[in-house]
Amino acid sequence: MAYRPAYEEEYDGLVYIEYREVKPSKPSFMVLGLPDAGLVGVIASTHLVKSLGMEEYGGIDSPRLFMPLAVINKGLPRPPLRLFHKDNVIVLLAEAAIPPAAIHPLSSFIIEYARRMSIDYIVSIVGLAAPNRLEIEKPNVYWLASSEEAKALAEKLGIKMMSDGYLVGPYALILKEAVRKRVNNLILLAEAFMDFPDPEAAAAVLQVLSKAIGKEVDVKKLLEEAEVIRVRMKELMRQTRQTLTEMRKTYEYQPPLLYT
């Protein structure tokens, strides 16, 4: 596949690049792997792309908002946010931390893109920073939903709802925009380390995600390569840590002020 895009458009400082047109089958899912606590979304989405043999078809860049970065893959440059597709699944995978200035336009673009592609469910994979993560042998996975349809899907997955708390960062904006635009957004939150890549949390999410999207995802290799992944993603975690601090990610440790 050549890098030269077949289609390109600008959206509020972002540049969407498409190498070829795709049309996901139904029911369709758009899985988001954005840098967050424990890089859970990035690790899970990377493994999902490899496990399903997904093909890259586009990406998102921004000369103004993103750091000056070109991802080199098989000798060709790629944008820092890459789009993959197979059957009924699209994956948006970030190769670099998302600068705070890019969060608002990126969140809006994701919602509009999902509507344009007639995506049935956006699935956000989130690391829920757990102060006692060292004491947790197998991370728990929780859900949030933007709609009754997403809630109905979540209730089939055998996990509990996150009933109270805060959500911070791009996933929070995507959820609020999804509610406003009536888009089905299912959020899967796994207990994770705040500052260290957490492949075990990613594996826990993938086991739940496979039920949602109707595809078997083997996490054995992911768990076997956990130490290698931690080393490989050390620099991305360092970049993400600074961004999370600016976004006050530690708010998620706290209960909301008002219970009803």
Q: For 174-214, how does the pLDDT look when each residue is reduced to its tens digit (9 = 90+)? A: 999 999 999 999 999 999 999 999 999 999 999 999 999 99
Residue 5 lies in a domain: no
Pairing outcome for strands 81-86 and 55-61 = antiparallel
Residue 130 lies in a domain: yes
Q: Are 58 and 9 in contact (CB under 8 A)?
A: no
pLDDT for residue 222 is more than 70? yes
Total residue count of the chain as it appears in this document: 260
Cα 192 to Cα 37: distance, rounded to the nearest angstrom = 7
pLDDT for residue 164 is more than 90? no
- Residue 163: CATH number of its domain: 3.40.50.10900
* Structural domains of the chain, count: 1
Residue 4 lies in a domain: no
Cα 118 to Cα 126: distance, rounded to the nearest angstrom = 23
Q: Are 127 and 37 in contact (CB under 8 A)?
A: yes
Q: Are 166 and 75 in contact (CB under 8 A)?
A: no
Q: Are 64 and 71 in contact (CB under 8 A)?
A: no
Percent of the chain, pLDDT > 90?
A: 78
The model's pLDDT over 89-148, given as tens digits with 9 standing for 90+, comes to 999 999 899 998 999 999 999 999 999 999 999 999 999 999 999 999 999 999 999 999
Poorest-pLDDT segment among 3-7, 33-37, 180-184, 235-239:
3-7
Residue 18 lies in a domain: no
Residue 248 lies in a domain: yes
Backbone phi and psi for residue 256, each to the nearest 5 degrees, phi listed first: -65, 160
Residue 252 — very low, low, confident or very high, per pLDDT cuts 50/70/90? low
Task: Print the domain residue range for 230.
Answer: 28-253
Residue 12 lies in a domain: no
Residue 10 lies in a domain: no
Percent of the chain, pLDDT > 70?
A: 93
Residue 21 lies in a domain: no
Q: Which DSSP symbol is given to 219?
A: -
